[in-house]
Amino acid sequence: MSQSGPGITLAALAARVGAVVEGDGTRCVARVGTLENAGPDAIAFLANPKYRAQLATTRAGAVVVAPADAAATALPRLVAADPYSVYARVAAVLHPPALPAAGIHPSAVVAASARIDAEAAVGAHAVVGERAVVGPRAIVGAGTVIGADAEIGEGVTLHPNVSIYARCVIGPRTVVHSGAVIGADGFGMAEEGGRWLRIPQVGRVVIGADCDIGANTTIDRGAIDDTVIEDDVKLDNQIQVGHNCRIGRHTAIAGCVGIAGSAHIGRNCKIAGAAGIGGHLSIADGTVIGAATAIVATIDRAGVYTGMFPALPHREWQKVAARLRRLDELADRVRALERALAQRSPV
């Protein structure tokens, strides 16, 4: 949870977020808002050109704009090449998180062998297992469970009802949202005589620094080696990461993506919602994958990949589907015509 700060001048704000002030630098703002709904105590931003007309009607006290849009408003403004990233920094300054007081709630269950830093906060009914380590300024939310020998780094935030299984590692400043499960068994089974034998999953999940793990996202522990999430990876809600996967740093993955076991996703990738990624394949650094796209083979060259068929009115879709079903027949007819033409004598 975050709260509004007491207010800050634009000049002071610019110094903290790396922007240039144009207009009245003494103007104070206390919160962020949209161009449409902001009031005089708020600062809004313009990052998408289609909202440019709202600069003329906004009631915001100040705005964040790109240099090309600076002359389009008389309001005091922060000017930056990337208004959206500056807005993110502004929002962090004006809406700092409400941090709980350090200490262990009386209802928490903490193993005697666990090590909880004096600056950490452990919430109501949380459970911390044997030999687990919770670092300085870490926050363990109410009802969260940390397994034996797990390591929670400095400044980590575990929101309420997170499950961190035994021996998993969460790197500094990472945020894990409610309902996430880190380190459950991967889907490892061997078939024998018509029955499934469970394969013990003996690896860990190792998550790097400055990551975000969305609500109800699940990351399975490795079967033998670790499942690894590198630094600054951003995972949205309800993502499934299978065992032995590796996700490279600075990659962002939107909601409902499913990643099968032993997939290796490169650095600086962007994967849109509901995409599916098959197991035991690799995706090159810098790859962009569209929504609902199925990846069933390795991508060894960065680019934009899309496999979704766009929506159509139902009756039109039925016609297209009917034609698609006849493609094999049509291909056979074309080949037959080509052979016939090839056999014809020259005129």
Q: What is the pLDDT of residues 320-342, one digit of tens each?
A: 999 999 999 999 999 999 998 88
pLDDT of 344 reads 81
Distance CA 210, CA 91 (A): 18
At how many degrees (to 10) do helices 327-343 and 314-325 cross? 40
Whether 250 has a pLDDT exceeding 50, the answer reads yes
Distance CA 29, CA 12 (A): 11
Whether 310 has a pLDDT exceeding 90, the answer reads no
Among 60-69, 239-248, 304-313, name the one with the lowest average pLDDT.
304-313
Structure tokens given for 307: 């496999």
Q: Is-contact 294 276, C-beta < 8 A?
A: yes
Tracing tokens 């990461």 back to the chain, one arrives at 241
Nearest to 233 by CA among 220, 244, 221, 246: 246
Distance CA 247, CA 266 (A): 6
Q: What is the pLDDT of residues 179-223, one digit of tens each?
A: 999 999 999 999 999 999 999 999 999 999 999 999 999 999 999
Nearest to 232 by CA among 212, 216, 206: 212
pLDDT of 266 reads 98
Whether 300 has a pLDDT exceeding 50, the answer reads yes
pLDDT of 1 reads 43
The arithmetic mean of pLDDT across residues 162-184, rounded, is 98
Q: What is the pLDDT of residues 106-155, one digit of tens each?
A: 999 999 999 999 999 999 999 999 999 999 999 999 999 999 999 999 99
The arithmetic mean of pLDDT across residues 162-170, rounded, is 98
pLDDT over 70, % of the chain: 97
pLDDT of 5 reads 54
- The residues that are catalytic are 243
Whether 281 has a pLDDT exceeding 90, the answer reads yes
Q: What is the pLDDT of residues 65-93, one digit of tens each?
A: 999 999 999 999 999 999 999 999 999 99
User: What is the overall mean pLDDT for the chain?
Assistant: 95
The arithmetic mean of pLDDT across residues 223-240, rounded, is 98
pLDDT of 6 reads 67
